Structure 1
Amino acid sequence: MTAQGTCDPRFSQVAEEFERNLADRGEVGASVCVILDGEVVVDLWGGEAVPGEPWRRDTIGHVWSCTKGATALCAHLLAARGDLDLDAPVTRYWPEYGVRGKSGTLVRHLLAHQAGLPALREPLPPNAFFDWKLMVERLAAEEPFWEPGTRHGYHGLTFGFLVGEVIRRVSGRSLGTFFREEVAEPLGLDFWLGLPESEEGRVAPTIPADPPAEPPSFYLRAFSEPGSPQALLFTNTGGYMGASDAAGSAMMSDTREAHAAEYGAIGAITNARGLAGMYRPLAEGRLLPVEQRTIMSTTTSAGMDAVLLVPTRFGLGVMRSVDNRYLPPADSEGAMMSTTAFGHSGMGGSAGFCDPPLRLAFGYTMNKQGAGLGINPRGQALVDATYRSLGYDQLGGGIWYRS
């Protein structure tokens, strides 16, 4: 289970925690990458991609909500060019959207999880998430769960269609095409929103988390209140969040059809090198003007999340550091970074972020999910080791500060 790759001696703590994850913390297969001031200082991988097959340098996997960072970046690229006004009503670009109480929804509400559409009420047909036209039509016709802009609640599955449709209308390109042509190809990233079939053999399938001893509040609400946003988000997915066969041995999200879909909320396929590589130019003041990066990263939504039922903090499409360790253990996972960092985690614990004052970019991916809602303890151990290697201490509120 020994890790492979390279690690600068200054970041030996990251390598030690990565090895500990594999040996003692239930890691099956994973990768971690740290880029500092343009230099790759950690590039490690290890464990198994599938039983009996090692995780290789070019192994890729499903990174779930880390996808939202990629989708948000596409929107901010358009905003930086003057093609998209984040303060404009969504109806300027998507006229059909302005019905049933949504006419006042701004583009920034979509990015900040304030749109009031974390789920759909009417049952979706099988494989609905692979039908872009169906999903955007259903969202455009839906009534919000709250008045847009008045509160925030995590749009875990709808974010990609909402923001992605605006990107499509403005750019004239599908979300996956725009990301490939404007981000992945120019940066040389092995990062896909719509995986070509030729790359399918490199994908490490997701291993679902073990059932938690005590479910997070989100799951308790989902299973006890069938009509709640939590229940609908989890169950009304056209099968995406379920098993792909009768035996339950594989997830629908790991089918070839799911990997090929340009699904901008939770569908991206990459590895730690791809995640860190996407955030690298943001850390270095490239790709986006610094002014737009500031708009992207400034905390816009904070406090109790109306969907996740724990405190969250978001910029416009990205997560900010939040420490929930004071909550009961089931709800205690957060995303503890420095006060200047921003990025996104994915269901089960994958994570990518940058910290511009440090010129730091970080990525972590794995196939075995954790049971919580934030960066799981394996990923957080790697984040913590990265900051310790840079001379940071973790003080009040779980945030990392320069010592």
Structure 2
Amino acid sequence: MPIESLPQGTVAEGFEPVREVFAATLAEEREGHAAQLAAYVDGRQVVDLWGGPEITGDSLTGVFSSTKGAAHLAVALLVQDGTLDLDEKVSHYWPEFAAEGKAGITLRDLLAHRSGVIGADDGFSLEELADDRRVAERLAGQRPFWRPGTAFGYHGLVIGALTGEVVRRVTGLTMQEFYEARLRAPYGLDFYMGLPEEQEHRVLPTLPMDPTPEQQRELDAAATSPESLPGIAFNEHASDAVPLGTLPNFRAIRAGGPASVGGMASARGLAGMYAAAISGLDGKAPLLKPDTAAEFAQIHSVGYDLVSRQHESFGLGFQAEADIYPFLGAGSFGHAGAAGSVAFADPRAALSFGYNRRRCAVLGGDTPEAGRLAKAVRECVA
């Protein structure tokens, strides 16, 4: 194994097997793979590893939909504070949203990917995708792509803009400003939703997929029309669409930090955020009360997803992680990202996990190696 691919960093006593699994992952992946891994137990960091070309423990990469976890921790705080009511209609907070048959959609429906507002008829420009307020303005007048509440489908590029507009209407702050004030800055999280210019030197550009011939055949077989629900949800039908995997490589996306896909983080930041949520960090209290965490983790949508066209399960703004990883405790919640980042909290084990990779995963989201790493960490906790 090349020296640059050997794991660097530290593990706490009892977590040595995690280093071995991480080393095997670096060795098995294709040339150029670089990744970070971090984990906390009871708010104490027990894993801090990285390896691969150019990457360090301090490197920041685009975490795509893992950003949804940060956004919806912010929403959970507002529900916990009593500022938002999950069963109130979205139009109560945002009257313009009632257009085109959306008046009955509740905040709970929206968070559970049941609203049907997965995109705009004619798509978004890159400049619009970088600005959640512009996306929300466009979607206020959009007709849902299915009758709200009758089915669910992943609102991949827009859910953070939709929930972010609700946050703005009740706080006067954008989702990015609220997250910075209530989560990132107080807990010193290495997870940015809107990357400051002075942090740009830490960024590693996202690398494109590098599929094997077999993987390419699988991708070709699963391809859908740009005008299909998946195509619309991922903006493939826009006249000037850019590939999803390139989004973090645009400064406009990094600076705007769209709450669905625009976060920049290290694995320390991913895991640390969930540690702050359920355990607290550096003597600070947990962000979420157990009842709040349990409600947002509770499964609300499960079964066939109209956008991903496969089995999915969602809580409120989060993926139901124990459905993806059966070795986790019930009530685990988190989110994966297109490049292969995975971050979650397992409250029953007081475990917070973050995995980040530089090259886009071929099939995206929860990758096999992330599952192996998560299982290794969970077994060490047990």
TM-score (norm 2): 0.91
**229-238 or 74-83, which deviates more:** 229-238
CA contact (8 A) 2:132 2:164 kept: no
CA contact (8 A) 2:59 2:203 kept: yes
Q: Does 1:214 align with 2:241?
A: no
CA contact (8 A) 2:68 2:335 kept: yes
Aligned to 2:276: 281
Aligned to 2:33: 28
CA contact (8 A) 2:321 2:344 kept: no
**205-214 or 68-77, which deviates more:** 205-214
Deviation at 1:205, TM superposition (A): 1.0
Deviation at 1:198, TM superposition (A): 0.7
Q: Secondary structure at the match of 2:52?
A: strand
Q: Secondary structure at the match of 1:214?
A: helix
Aligned to 2:149: 149
Change (3 A) 1:236 1:179: farther
Q: How far apart, in 1, do the equivalents of 2:342 and 2:204 lie?
A: 16
Deviation at 1:252, TM superposition (A): 4.3
Deviation at 1:136, TM superposition (A): 1.2
Deviation at 1:237, TM superposition (A): 5.5
Aligned to 1:242: 243
Residue identity in the other structure for 1:202:
R
RMSD between aligned alpha carbons?
2.0
CA contact (8 A) 2:247 2:253 kept: yes
CA contact (8 A) 1:129 1:237 kept: no
> Which runs of 5 or more structure 1 residues have no equivalent in the other structure?
49-53, 244-249, 324-333, 392-403
CA contact (8 A) 1:18 1:382 kept: yes
Q: How far apart, in 1, do the equivalents of 2:238 and 2:276 lie?
A: 34
Q: How far apart, in 2, do the equivalents of 1:320 and 1:303 lie?
A: 12
Q: How far apart, in 2, do the equivalents of 1:102 and 1:141 lie?
A: 9
**204-213 or 186-195, which deviates more:** 204-213
Aligned to 1:387: 378
> What pairs with 1:360-399 in structure 2 (closer than 5 Å)?
360-391=351-382
Query: Could you give the per-residue CA deviations for residues 104-148 of structure 1, whole angstroms, max 9, x where no partner exists?
Result: 111111111111011221243452212434311210111001111
Q: Does 1:309 align with 2:318?
A: no
Aligned to 1:135: 135
> What pairs with 1:186-201 in structure 2 (closer than 5 Å)?
186-201=186-201
Aligned to 1:102: 102
Residue identity in the other structure for 1:32:
L
Determine which of 50, 71, 87 is the counterpart of 1:45.
50
CA contact (8 A) 1:91 1:98 kept: yes
CA contact (8 A) 1:218 1:307 kept: no
Aligned to 2:13: 9
Query: Could you give the per-residue CA deviations for residues 228-281 of structure 1, whole angstroms, max 9, x where no partner exists?
Result: 1112223146756439xxxxxx93431111110130001100111101111013
Q: Secondary structure at the match of 1:278?
A: helix
The total of aligned residue pairs comes to 367
Q: Secondary structure at the match of 2:374?
A: helix
Change (3 A) 1:131 1:356: closer
Q: Does 1:92 align with 2:92?
A: yes
> Which runs of 5 or more structure 2 residues have no equivalent in the other structure?
281-285
Q: How far apart, in 2, do the equivalents of 1:237 and 1:66 lie?
A: 24
Q: Secondary structure at the match of 2:36?
A: strand
Q: Secondary structure at the match of 1:354?
A: strand
Deviation at 1:321, TM superposition (A): 3.1
Change (3 A) 1:126 1:70: closer
**160-169 or 202-211, which deviates more:** 202-211
Identity %: 37
Q: How far apart, in 2, do the equivalents of 1:373 and 1:202 lie?
A: 23
CA contact (8 A) 2:322 2:332 kept: no
Q: Secondary structure at the match of 2:192?
A: coil
Change (3 A) 1:208 1:283: same
Q: Secondary structure at the match of 2:117?
A: coil
**208-217 or 150-159, which deviates more:** 208-217
Q: How far apart, in 2, do the equivalents of 1:20 and 1:164 lie?
A: 40
CA contact (8 A) 1:209 1:371 kept: yes
Residue identity in the other structure for 1:255:
F
Aligned to 1:19: 23
> What pairs with 1:216-365 in structure 2 (closer than 5 Å)?
219-220=222-223, 222=224, 225-234=225-234, 235-236=236-237, 239=240, 241-242=242-243, 251-284=246-279, 286-321=286-321, 334-338=324-328, 339-365=330-356
Aligned to 1:330: none
Q: Secondary structure at the match of 1:364?
A: strand
Deviation at 1:290, TM superposition (A): 1.7
**338-347 or 189-198, which deviates more:** 338-347
Q: How far apart, in 2, do the equivalents of 1:217 and 1:140 lie?
A: 34
